[in-house]
């Protein structure tokens, strides 16, 4: 199980400061969800955690090793990222694309072995994408493509999985299927998961802990039941709403409107 730790991270784009001294600890095997309104820095934080965006100050450690001291491939063996957007997928078939996940771990000149193909098959099977293995990715629907992209990240077989809005484009059934799948893999493969989710009910249901960002700082963190409340809706999202427990014990958020105070 891998622990991911960000210490005092400041990061941005040129003179634009996005993250202002963020500390986040994700313990091995834990699922932490980053919350926050549009533009609050969630994607930037995920990219910092993936070693793809270099902080201006502070550092990120995976199992006590600084990402900045690891080679790109060594990072890829430890951390896989499902990004929010991907470049156009050209004419690759689903299998060819998912095999790219193995090259991320092996290097572009590395030969793929039977064991690599087993990983690819497992990723296709686990995401329910094996029926499209020989179809061009470009011919799939947005939701089907999203599941293929998850397969690509899983094929990397890294102990840390970072997911930037993994349920985008998915209908509600496939949203739950993907989140259930990630939770199953979290337990079966002892994955450490950091996700960005916009649906608060889902965030509460699937996360061990949540970290809410506001103006580039950690505004609140903890177990979801402690953190997600009406004050968080107002302070972090600027909406009036209620958070209540349904008869099955799950937290549900109901929104009444945009807050006048924020």
Q: Which of residues 35-94 bind ligand ATP (CB under 6 A)?
A: 36, 38-44
**With respect to ligand ATP, which residue has the nearer C-beta, 4 or 211?**
211
Q: How far is the CB of 197 from ligand ATP (least distance, A)?
A: 10
Judge whether 31 and 206 are in contact, CB under 8 Å.
yes
**With respect to ligand ATP, which residue has the nearer C-beta, 97 or 194?**
194
Q: How far is the CB of 120 from ligand ATP (least distance, A)?
A: 29
* φ, ψ for residue 216, nearest 5 deg: 80, 10
Q: Could you give the C-alpha distances from 141 to 146, 206, 230, in angstroms and in order?
A: 9, 26, 36
Q: Which of residues 211-240 bind ligand ATP (CB under 6 A)?
A: none
**With respect to ligand ATP, which residue has the nearer C-beta, 12 or 28?**
12
* φ, ψ for residue 137, nearest 5 deg: -60, -35
Judge whether 216 and 17 are in contact, CB under 8 Å.
yes
Question: How would you class 12 by CB atoms within 10 Å of its CB: exposed for 0-12, middle for 13-18, buried for 19 or more?
Answer: middle
**With respect to ligand ATP, which residue has the nearer C-beta, 38 or 261?**
38
Q: Does residue 156 bind ligand ATP (CB under 6 A)?
A: no
Q: Does residue 15 bind ligand ATP (CB under 6 A)?
A: no
Q: Does residue 166 bind ligand ATP (CB under 6 A)?
A: no
Q: How far is the CB of 10 from ligand ATP (least distance, A)?
A: 13
Q: Which of 48, 2, 1, 3 is nearest to 22 (CA)?
A: 48
53 token code pair = 């965006």
Interface contacts to ligand ATP, rule CB under 6 A: 13, 16, 18, 36, 38-44
């Amino acid at each position: 199980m891998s622990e991911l730790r960000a210490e005092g991270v400041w990061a941005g784009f040129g003179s634009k400061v996005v993250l202002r001294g963020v500390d986040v600890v994700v313990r091995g095997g834990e699922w932490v969800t980053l919350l926050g309104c549009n533009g609050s820095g969630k994607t930037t934080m995920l990219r910092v955690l993936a070693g793809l965006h270099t902080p201006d100050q502070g550092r990120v450690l995976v199992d006590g090793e600084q990402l900045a001291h690891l080679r790109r491939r060594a990072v890829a063996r430890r951390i896989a990222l499902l990004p929010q957007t991907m470049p156009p997928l050209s004419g690759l078939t689903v299998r060819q694309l998912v095999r790219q996940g193995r090259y991320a771990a092996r290097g572009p000149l590395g030969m793929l072995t039977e064991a690599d193909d087993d990983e690819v098959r497992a990723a296709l099977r686990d995401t329910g994408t094996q029926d499209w293995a020989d179809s061009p990715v470009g011919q799939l629907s947005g939701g089907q493509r999203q599941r293929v992209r998850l397969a690509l990240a899983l094929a990397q077989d890294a102990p840390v999985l970072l997911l930037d809005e993994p349920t985008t484009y998915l209908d509600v059934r496939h949203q739950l299927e993907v989140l259930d799948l990630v939770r199953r893999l979290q337990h079966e493969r002892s994955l450490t998961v950091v996700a960005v989710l916009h649906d608060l009910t889902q965030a509460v249901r699937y996360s061990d802990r949540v970290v809410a960002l506001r103006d580039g700082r950690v505004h609140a963190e903890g177990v979801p039941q402690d953190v997600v409340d009406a004050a968080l809706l107002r302070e972090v999202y600027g909406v009036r709403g209620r958070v209540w427990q349904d008869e099955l014990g799950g937290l549900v958020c109901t929104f009444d409107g945009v807050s006048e105070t924020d």
